[in-house]
Amino acid sequence: MLTDQCATTQQSALDLTGVHYLPKSALETLVDFANNLQAPQRLVIRASPNWRCEKGIAGGGWDQIEGLRAVDAS
């Protein structure tokens, strides 16, 4: 479970590489989760560049959250 992993590690990754659509409510849940992490813990979301930039993290302005990091899936 993601919450268990974050309790024992500094960084937890969620791979959304194959995801073409994620409801805003699901993304907001991930953002809420990331907001509750204690530094230096971080949630890393891996997604395609188009999704990450246009539809997801940056599109919602959530890329400025300290506990959340989006990376391009290559």
The model's pTM is 0.70
Residue range 42-53, pLDDT digits in tens: 888 888 776 655
Residues written for the chain: 74
Task: Give tens-digit pLDDT for 34-73.
Answer: 888 888 888 888 887 766 555 566 666 666 778 877 777 7
CA–chain centroid gap for 12, Å, is 9
Q: Where are the domains of the chain?
A: 2-72
Please state whether beta strands 68-72 and 11-15 pair in parallel, antiparallel, or not at all (unpaired): unpaired
User: Is the N-terminal amide bond of 23 cis, ω within 30° of 0?
Assistant: no
Q: Which two structure tokens, joined as six digits, stand for 31?
A: 């953002």
CA gap 4, 45 in Å, rounded: 17
